[in-house]
């Protein structure tokens, strides 16, 4: 039930991080370890709808040990970024798309929908309050993490009658620690991420919990990320643990796996397809098998592959490893198509290039 939109009250943090300490953190924030002074929080109660919307000091939240999320993982989240544009204003990239996807995830997880305007307003207000937290590091941004979880104190298996929606912000630099120009990926053959009819297209915490053992396997093999194959035939490339994947061919075309219901409909994926098509490139949304990937890399037909997502932006894939051995795309470094398309996206996101699709949403 979504009744009238709740208005946010503001309680400022009486003990914000000291300015000198903040400056130190913002010079090299890494990814997901530094957090701002505030958070947004809204409650949902069955019969009452969304209420008690607040911007409050960021602090631990108390949960009853029987809170439903701790047992049955009814939880969803989003990830989007805010940038300081070339002209000094703050802006988010396609937040309306995240608001829509959040509600698609909510529907799949049997959770209440959050009015899109409440989603957008929670983020705008939080970014305004924490506006002094933009990283000073090159390529830095505010990584915004809205999430919602079941909070009814009940051990019966059913959709919860109570939920909390929160937004936290992490000032970030690059996602990959190595800072390498291209990443290596491990082809998981023992584990799959999602099956038809499952939750693969939803952004729910459970998908990531299920990917961790495969990600750990990737790390053991010296790889940065894991790539999953389809659950039924272990043949078709789906996506990485936290990113979509693209392939670039010697005829200038691009290909990416189709939205079959088992992969996340990435907003970066959608943006890159739009930008590439506007450049006149052919973009196919068609299945691509791991065997074809290996063969095309060997023949030189496939010249580049890259991962894309909010956290990873556009990251070249240099090496692919599996129990059958390893292969490289080209020389294993970043390719020209990848870097050109990345630059196009990043320039729009930072307000350097015009924004013909209306993707940049300014915050006054
Ligand atoms: N696939 C998965 C599993 C992800 O976690 C993400 C990151 O959000 C993506 C793809 C890319 O989605 P987006 O471009 O919307 O960030
Ligand atoms: C994102 O890019 O927003 C994600 O959720 C991916 C995760 C690996 C941080």
Tell me the mean pLDDT in the region 243-259. Answer: 97
- Tell me, yes or no, whether 315 and 193 share the same domain: yes
**Tens digit of each residue's pLDDT (9 = 90 or more) over 156-194:** 999 999 999 999 999 999 888 766 689 999 999 999 999
- Same domain for 245 and 270, yes or no, is yes
Structural domain includes residue 178: no
Query: Among 172, 195, 210, which residue terminates a domain?
Result: 172
Three-class SS of residue 348?
helix
Where a domain ends, among 119, 144, 172?
Answer: 172
Question: At residue 2, does pLDDT exceed 50?
Answer: no
Which residue do the tokens 């990239």 mark?
A: 93
How far apart are the C-alpha atoms of 300 and 294, rounded to whole Å?
10
CA atoms within 13 A on the CB side of 246: 31
Average pLDDT over residues 184-206: 96
Judge if 28 and 166 occupy the same domain: yes
Same domain membership, residue 318 and residue 195:
yes
* 139 & 188 share domain: no
**Residue by residue, what is the 3-state secondary structure of 33-94?**
CCCCCEEEEEEEECCCEEEEEEEEECCCCCCCCCECHHHHCCEEECCEEEEECCCCCEEEEC
* d(CA 77, ligand 2 centre) in Å: 10
pLDDT score for 1: 46
Same domain, residue pair 251 and 337: yes
Q: Model confidence at 330, in pLDDT bands (50, 70, 90)?
A: confident
Task: Average the pLDDT over 1-24 and give the result.
Answer: 89
Residue 97 has pLDDT above 50, yes or no: yes
The confidence score (pLDDT) of residue 318 equals 95
DSSP state of 207: H
Is 117 in the same domain as 62? Answer: yes
Which domain, by its residues, includes 214? Answer: 183-349
Ligand 1 pocket residue status of 310, Cβ below 6 Å: yes
Ligand nearest to the CA of 93: 1
Residues with active-site annotation: 203
> 1 lies in a domain?
no
Ligand 2: centre distance to CA 210 (Å): 15
Q: Is 50 exposed, middle or buried (0-12, 13-18, 19+ CB in 10 A)?
A: buried
pLDDT at 3: 54
Q: Confirm whether 362 is domain-assigned.
A: no
Task: Give the pLDDT band of residue 323 (cuts 50, 70, 90).
Answer: very high
Is the four-CA dihedral 292, 296, 302, 303 of positive or negative sign?
A: positive
Residue 230 lies in a domain: yes
Q: How confident is the model at residue 5 (pLDDT cuts 50, 70, 90)?
A: confident
> Rounded to an integer, what distance in angstroms lies between the CA atom of residue 226 and that of residue 207?
13
Q: Provide DSSP, 1-35.
A: ---SPPPPEE---SSPPPHHHHHHHHHS--SSS--
Does 211 map to a domain? yes
Q: State the virtual CA torsion across 63, 67, 71, 72 in degrees, nearest 10.
A: -120
Residue-wise DSSP of 238-307? EEESS-EEEEEETTS-EEE----SSS---HHHHHHHHHHHHTT--EEE---BHHHHHHHHHHTSEEEEEE
Same domain, 194 and 342: yes
**Which of 149, 172, 195 delimits the end of a domain?**
172
For residue 41, what pLDDT band results from cuts at 50, 70 and 90?
very high
| CATH number reported for the structural domain that contains residue 42 in this entry | 3.30.470.10
Ligand nearest to the CA of 31: 2
Q: Look at residue 333 and tell me if it is in a domain.
A: yes
Shared domain for 219 and 321, answered yes or no, is: yes
The number of distinct structural domains making up the chain is 2
Which residue lies with its CA nearest to atom 4 of ligand 1?
242
Check if 268 has its Cβ closer than 6 Å to any atom of ligand 2. Answer: no
CB 140 near ligand 2, within 6 Å? no
**pLDDT value of residue 177:** 72
Alpha carbons 74 and 70: distance in angstroms, whole number:
8
Apex CA 250: angle with CA 244 and CA 254, to 5°?
Answer: 30
Q: How far is the CA of 14 from the centre of ligand 2 (A)?
A: 31
Confidence (pTM): 0.96
Nearest ligand atom owner, CA of 311? 2
User: Could you tell me which of 134, 140, 263 has the C-alpha nearest to residue 195?
Assistant: 263
Section 86-112 average pLDDT: 97
Inter-helix orientation angle 95-108/116-129, to 10°: 130
Indicate whether residue 242 lines ligand 1 (CB < 6 A). Answer: yes
Contact 304, 276 (CB under 8 A): no
Is residue 174 within 6 Å of ligand 2 at its C-beta?
no
Q: Whose CA is nearest to atom 2 of ligand 1?
A: 242
CB proximity list for 137: less than 8 A, separation 6 or greater:
26, 27, 28, 29, 173
pLDDT at 138 exceeding the cut of 80? yes
């Amino acid at each position: 039930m979504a009744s009238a939109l709740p208005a946010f009250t503001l309680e400022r943090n009486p003990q914000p991080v000291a300015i000198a300490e903040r400056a130190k953190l913002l010079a090299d924030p890494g990814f997901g370890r530094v957090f701002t002074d505030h958070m947004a929080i809204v409650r949902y109660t069955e019969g009452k709808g969304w209420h008690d919307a607040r911007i409050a000091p960021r602090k631990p939240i108390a949960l009853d040990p029987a809170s439903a999320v701790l047992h049955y993982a009814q939880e969803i989240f989003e990830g989007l970024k805010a940038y300081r544009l070339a002209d000094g204003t703050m802006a988010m990239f396609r937040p309306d798309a995240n608001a829509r996807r959040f509600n698609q995830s909510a529907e799949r997880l049997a959770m209440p929908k959050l009015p899109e305007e409440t989603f957008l307003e929670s983020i705008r207000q939080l970014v305004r309050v924490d506006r002094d937290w933009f990283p000073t590091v090159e390529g830095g941004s505010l990584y915004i993490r809205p999430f919602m979880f079941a909070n009814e104190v009940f051990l019966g298996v059913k959709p919860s009658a109570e939920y909390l929606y929160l937004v936290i912000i992490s000032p970030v630099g690059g996602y990959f620690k190595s800072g390498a120009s291209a990443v290596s990926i491990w082809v998981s053959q023992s584990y799959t991420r999602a099956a038809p009819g499952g939750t693969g297209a939803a952004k729910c915490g459970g998908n990531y919990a299920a990917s961790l053992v495969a990600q750990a396997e990737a790390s053991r093999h010296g790889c940065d990320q894991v790539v999953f194959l389809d659950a039924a035939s272990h043949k078709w490339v789906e996506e990485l643990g936290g990113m979509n994947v693209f392939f670039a061919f010697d005829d200038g075309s691009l290909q990416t796996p189709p939205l079959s219901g088992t992969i996340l409909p990435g907003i970066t994926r959608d943006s890159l397809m739009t930008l590439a098509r506007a450049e006149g490139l052919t973009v196919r949304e068609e299945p691509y098998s791991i065997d074809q990937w290996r063969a095309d890399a060997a023949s030189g037909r496939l010249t580049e592959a890259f991962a894309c997502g909010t956290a990873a932006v556009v990251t070249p894939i240099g090496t692919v490893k599996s129990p059958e051995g390893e292969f490289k795309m080209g020389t294993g470094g970043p390719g020209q198509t990848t870097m050109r398309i990345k630059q196009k996206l990043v320039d729009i996101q930072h307000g350097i290039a015009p924004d013909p699709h209306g993707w940049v949403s300014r915050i006054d």
